[in-house]
Amino acid sequence: MDFGFSLSPSSAIDLDKVDLSLYRRLEQTVPDIRSCIACGSCSATCMAADYSGMSVRKLILNLQRGADVKKMLSCCMLCGKCTMVCPRGINTRKLILDVCRYYSDNKL
């Protein structure tokens, strides 16, 4: 019998099996990354967010999950608005530049 829907595959992430080396490295260079409260202020002010899905909040979350964030980084215009509105004072531009530098250094 067809009920008009299907079950989605599990989206569970086994954090014991993901590579968190980039996030650990960023914790050392930008220790503020741990103070993000995922409030969404950065996403709300981002000019690229509406068109590209760029979000510093999503970027940090994906890094914590060991996901690839190269595509998201290519959408960032480095305008710095997210840095100005962050209630925790996270230097998001430095964070984004450090992630880009990591990818260029490791040729990923």
**Which residue do the tokens 């014991």 mark?**
16
Q: What is the pLDDT of residue 86?
A: 93
Domains of the chain plus CATH, in order, are 21-105 (1.10.1060.10)
Residue 77 corresponds to which amino acid?
Answer: M
- The predicted-structure confidence for 22-69, as pLDDT tens digits, reads as follows 888 888 888 888 999 999 999 899 888 888 888 888 999 989 888 888
Is the pLDDT at 106 greater than 90? The verdict is no
Structure tokens at 73: 């980084």
Q: What is the pLDDT of residue 87?
A: 93
Q: Is the separation of the CB atoms in 31 and 89 below 8 Å? A: no
Read off the DSSP letter of residue 36: -
Q: What is the pLDDT of residue 81?
A: 92
Tell me the three state secondary structure of residue 11. coil
Q: Is the separation of the CB atoms in 81 and 45 below 8 Å? A: yes
Q: Give first-to-last CA distance, the chain, whole Å.
A: 47
